Amino acid sequence: MGISPEEPISSSYEDFCVAEKKYLQSNKFEKDREYWNSTFNTIPEVASIPSISKSYEDISCKANRKTFVINEKFYVFLYILLT
């Protein structure tokens, strides 16, 4: 059923701390801990990305600009359409 969005959640940081402490002392925590310790028992190989063969000084950011000339009627049409 849940809580309706209008109802405030009555939870505080203190409530969180109490719940966390309870979890850390539970069998579920031990089970979760064993799972994650076995899952990450070995460290996976580091993924690597091949380096760029050029140095950064050789890479250009040069771009080409396209210019279009439109008449006033079309400009007004675009202005009205986009605002």
pLDDT digits (tens, 9 = 90+) for 43-73: 777 777 666 655 666 677 788 888 889 999 9
Task: Please work out, in degrees rounded to the nearest 5, the angle formed at the alpha carbon of residue 60 by the alpha carbons of 50 and 49.
Answer: 10
**The model scores a pTM over 0.75:** no
The pLDDT tens digits for 8-36 are: 667 789 899 999 999 999 999 999 999 99
Residue 26: the pLDDT is 96
Q: How would you classify residue 75: left for phi > 0, otherwise alpha for psi between -120 and 50, otherwise beta?
A: alpha
Residue 7: pLDDT band (50, 70, 90) is low
